Amino acid sequence: MNKTVAEAVVLVDELKAALAGVAGVDVAVCPAFVALTSVRSALAGSAIKLGAQNAYYEPKGAFTGEVSISMLTSLVDYVIIGHSERRQIFGETDQLVNKKVLAALASGLQPILCIGETLAENEAGQTEAVLERQVREALANVSAADITRLTIAYEPIWAIGTGRAATSEDAQNRCAFVRAQVRRKYGDLADQVRIQYGGSVTPANARELLTRPDIDGALVGGASLKAADFSAIVKAATA
């Protein structure tokens, strides 16, 4: 929940300029709902894609304050689903996340599914059990034909916005574990599923994270609010 509409447009204009000539990496921005239309116009002619931060699975109805996936299909390419703040602050369950994933895939959008453990779960040695459950339940009834259109973002909740990122080795191990869970259900298609790391990704640690074999990208939070920082992370992915 950052940036007014005008500020969001300024940010993407700066980002387009900073990334001019950069190739070989997919980039998307996910502004607040109110800025989507304006940012889409600002991105015209750019390779930068557009995503939404959330969506509801029902196509329409008496759900005041929600935005349906069907409302987004003409606007965006991606939709973030199950972000830890949605889970923790707004009480979204694994089952609700699954409904959103299925609705997004059915509409043609590309979901960015967020998973990750809390600090208490991490310290209790429950990380893998939590990730296994979140992957299994979020991907219930997702077909093999659809699985490669989905991105999974591993975000340890204790690292989001805290400045305390997981080490590149820990991030690699967790992303490899997530890929192994996908492989159990979908076989070699797991190699085509994009698995990202999120949680205090910065220009300083981006290259070390992004060169790991099972980390295919980054879901960037606070650093995406400054064009210079976000573009530096993007460029780290091309190195």
**Residues recognised as catalytic:** 83, 155
Please, what is the end-to-end C-alpha distance for the chain in angstroms?
A: 31
CA 192 to chain centroid: 16
Angle between helices 127-138 and 168-186 (to 10 degrees): 40
- The shares of helix, strand and coil residues in the chain, as percent rounded to the nearest 5, are 50, 15, 40
Measured in degrees and rounded to the nearest 5, phi and psi for residue 81 equal -130, 135
CA 71 to chain centroid: 20
All residues at 6 or more sequence positions from 167 whose CB lies less than 8 Å from its CB, including other chains? none
Distance CA 223, CA 139 (A): 29
3-state secondary structure of 8: helix
Q: For residue 194, how many other CB atoms are within 10 A of its CB? A: 16
Token pair 């305390």 is found at 164
Distance CA 219, CA 160 (A): 11
Under DSSP, the state recorded for 27 is -
